[in-house]
Amino acid sequence: MATMTEPLCLERDVCRVIELLDRLQRSGELPPPKLQALQRVLQSKFCAAIREVYEQLYDTLDIVGGPEVRAQATAKATVAAFAASEGHAHPRVVELPKTEEGLGFNIMGGKEQNSPIYISRVIPGGVADRQGGLKRGDQLLSVNGVSVEGEHHEKAVELLKAAQGSVKLVVRYTPKVLEEMEARLRR
């Protein structure tokens, strides 16, 4: 279990579970189809996305209480994040180094435009482009653990500018909503 000073890292635990499933399969003690199904789930991109969002929330939630209380609150927040994204791409975490050249992307939208905040452009050759994790059409959900859902454009800009060293973004890919918003602005 991670301590308050040690960040949570579940990737190692998931890899260990997969190794144990391999051993169980070879032993023949459990039916292979069920073990294989569980192994596929644990190795899926969806499971990796859940783990990333859980770890990000675990590191940023300000919860008073022991590790169990923190884990329960994080689990509930993770479920809420995925429930909110139903019908959309699932949230994912993108970490970018903060350099003198900036982060290499532009955002648009915000409460004042009655829309979510979106990545409107990834600058070719910029930090975000070189890292490869961010794409045009990503909705910005949080910046370094601070939610920007339903916030003004300027708040997101301030959080991005205030980041030191690196910035952790939670985003979800929803390009159709961005296209609708751009069409509205062109009118």
* 113-116-118 Cα angle (round to 5): 105
- The backbone torsions φ and ψ at residue 73, rounded to the nearest 5 degrees and listed phi first, read -65, -40
From first to last of its 187 residues, the chain has per-residue pLDDT tens of 444 445 566 777 778 888 888 888 788 777 777 777 777 877 877 777 777 777 777 777 667 777 788 788 777 777 766 665 555 567 888 999 998 899 999 999 999 988 899 999 999 999 999 998 899 999 999 998 888 999 999 999 999 999 999 999 999 988 777 777 677 767 6
- At 120 the pLDDT is 92
Could you write out the DSSP letters of every residue in 68-124? HHHHHHHHHHHHHHHHHTTTSPPPEEEEEE-BTTB-SEEEEEEGGGTEEEEEEEE-T
Q: Would you list the domain boundaries of the chain?
A: 11-84, 92-186
Query: Tens digits of per-residue pLDDT, 77-108?
Result: 777 666 655 555 678 889 999 988 999 999 99
88 Cα distance to chain centroid = 13
CATH 2.60.120.640 assigned to domain 11-84? The reply is no
| Secondary structure of residue 135 in the 3-state scheme | coil
Taking the CA atoms of 172, 157, 161 and 62 in sequence, report the sign of the dihedral they define.
negative
Fold of 92-186: Pdz3 Domain (2.30.42)
- Please tell me the distance from the alpha carbon of residue 163 to that of residue 73, in angstroms, as a whole number: 25
